[in-house]
């Protein structure tokens, strides 16, 4: 799985194990023991959990094991949603997406926050996001934030817990 920066800059790469698909998309397991790379360099961080990769949607969600943190977050979280252009499944089975900076995070205490607005503004200028791409990212970030706050599936976590149980992970 690859998350790239606009338009095609190496960002994150890691191996995932497919679990199956449902109405929400492809579910994969992410494990701490699998190497992860950021800008081509090894990257260390807790990431046990499951990720859902919906097709034809502008987001990808990671449901993390209790106590997990992202590389930049100091507080534990249980859900991290990347706003993306769209996930694409390649002929070789790999999945790529372009990260559009905005992230929606649900912390362990239940608080939900939209983060990285400053990164979006900076990268929009630096990388030259077309207006249509930028407008779609803003709209998606607002929509996902509202859906996570409301507990709309799959953000309620029920499907994630079912897939995580198959992988032997306790969410």
pLDDT digits (tens, 9 = 90+) for 56-99: 999 999 999 877 776 667 788 999 999 999 899 999 989 999 99
Instruction: Identify whether the C-beta of residue 95 lies closer than 8 Å to the C-beta of residue 1.
Output: yes
* Secondary structure E strands in 6-162: 9-14, 17-22, 25-30, 36-38, 41-43, 49-53, 59-64, 77-84, 88-89, 95-107, 112-115
Task: Please give the model's pTM, rounded to 2 decimal places.
Answer: 0.93
Nearest to 25 by CA among 89, 118, 94: 89
Q: For residue range 22-60, what is the model confidence (pLDDT) as tens digits?
A: 999 999 998 766 777 777 887 766 567 999 999 999 999
Q: The CATH number of the domain where 118 resides is what?
A: 2.40.380.10
Total of domains in the chain: 1
Range of the domain at 136: 2-167
């Amino acid at each position: 799985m690859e998350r790239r920066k606009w338009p095609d800059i190496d960002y994150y790469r890691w191996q995932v194990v497919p679990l199956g698909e449902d109405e929400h998309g492809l579910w994969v397991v992410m494990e701490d023991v699998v190497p992860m790379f950021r800008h081509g360099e090894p990257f260390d961080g807790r990431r046990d959990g499951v990720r859902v990769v919906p097709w034809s949607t502008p987001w990808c969600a990671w449901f993390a094991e209790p106590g997990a943190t992202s590389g930049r977050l100091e507080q534990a979280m249980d859900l991290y949603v990347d706003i993306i252009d769209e996930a694409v499944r390649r002929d070789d089975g790999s999945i790529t997406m372009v990260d559009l900076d905005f992230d929606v995070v649900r912390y362990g205490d239940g608080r939900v926050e939209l983060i990285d607005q400053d990164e979006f503004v900076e990268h929009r200028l630096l990388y030259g996001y077309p207006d249509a791409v930028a407008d779609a990212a803003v709209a998606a970030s607002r929509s996902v934030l509202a859906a996570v706050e409301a507990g709309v599936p799959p953000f309620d976590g029920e499907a994630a817990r079912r897939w995580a149980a198959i992988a032997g992970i306790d969410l």
